[in-house]
Structure 1
């Protein structure tokens, strides 16, 4: 299969699964250091998996986000809330138009390298609070990317309409060790086990019948 795709790779469960799932077509994986509280825990995993698969990996700094954007996910922001993603307080973790910004950059990278597609690992569970993960956003951005590039770059987001549990099952079939991924928004030494993404991680691994080897705080 032709390597024709740039993947946005955080180092979390979803994008690492997509990296392995689509490795034959991924020419380049891009991580963004945008000043989140967990970037320093995620990005080393992204790098490690790319090295393992022989896929080129780069890290692009977006440090302006911590200066001009408001989100509890960012360094200097308020405390990360605890609970389930369906809870109203989880909206504080939204980084406004984060995916739109990152996708715009990788579209430019794709066209500069003669690649036809960009890819991200948003999924059905993200729709609750993240507007730039919805099917409507994906469809609109795909059209914008094609209209704004000579090579008609397309957006591929194959997990848009499946759950994180579905992704975990796919990862299990691929033999992925999810202990080699990072989810917790707090970015401590261990996963907190209480923030929205930790709760979602636990539920997905349990749903997929995976023995959770994640180190959680007591």
Structure 2
């Protein structure tokens, strides 16, 4: 299966990055362990998706972020905010893109992420400018930034059984069903008129 997009996708095993993988078929994907508790669950789903799409998956481990456990943002936004996470992930993805001679790094930002500073249009524009200051041909792609997660799923061609099995909890190895990521998953599944099934794909390990 030939890639459709000359980019490294930042993948987490969650709804948005998984749907983006099926929609845009990137040349490669990168998952980063920055100290988050659910990392193994995120990795399991990401491996399954990348094997299904025949996308090479690269894994990188960095020192745990000082705020790897979600904290309140200074602006009083959601408690699921992790300071400087997206900036770090984009930088690592950009480095991999340059290494492989690709044109872009791709992030799964959706419309509801605008409540976070690092999901806003101004942040994406600033990171794009920074990348092009350093490497003039490298781009930052956020093709779903104007879409809801439901809209992204509907246009992505993601198999329903795969979408049911993404792992979206921010806090723990077992879904807490209270954080905004778990709530979002349940809301999207309800919109699809199916009882939520929160957990990893059964055979993805």
Q: What TM-score, normalized to structure 2?
A: 0.85
1:72 correspondence with 2:69: yes
CA deviation after TM superposition for structure 1 residue 168, in Å: 3.4
Residue of 122, 126, 133 corresponding to 1:136: 122
Structure 1 stretch 205-214 or stretch 34-43: which is displaced more? 205-214
CA deviation after TM superposition for structure 1 residue 214, in Å: 2.6
Structure 1 residues 193 and 170 mapped into 2: Cα distance closer, same or farther (>3 Å)? Answer: farther
CA deviation after TM superposition for structure 1 residue 187, in Å: 2.0
Distance 1:2 1:160 in 2: 19
Distance 2:194 2:131 in 1: 37
| Equivalent in the alignment of 1:167 | 152
Distance 1:205 1:179 in 2: 8
CA deviation after TM superposition for structure 1 residue 97, in Å: 1.2
Q: Which runs of 5+ in 1 are unaligned?
A: 82-87
| Equivalent in the alignment of 1:6 | 8
| Equivalent in the alignment of 2:202 | none
| 1:97-124 residue CA offsets vs partner (Å, 9 max, x unmatched) | 1111111111111112111011010111
1:196 correspondence with 2:180: yes
Distance 2:61 2:125 in 1: 27
**Secondary structure at 1:174 match in 2:** coil
Which 4+ residue blocks in structure 1 deviate beyond 3 angstroms?
A: 208-211
Distance 2:40 2:164 in 1: 16
Q: Which runs of 5+ in 2 are unaligned?
A: 200-205
* Number of aligned residue pairs: 193
Distance 2:140 2:99 in 1: 16
Contact 1:169/1:208 (CA < 8 Å) preserved in 2? no
1:214 correspondence with 2:202: no
Distance 2:169 2:51 in 1: 23
Report matched runs for 1:92-107 at 5 Å: 93-107=80-94
CA deviation after TM superposition for structure 1 residue 208, in Å: 3.5
Distance 1:168 1:212 in 2: 15
Structure 1 stretch 28-37 or stretch 157-166: which is displaced more? 157-166
| 1:148-201 residue CA offsets vs partner (Å, 9 max, x unmatched) | 115x10011011111122223335x43232232101123233x22221111111
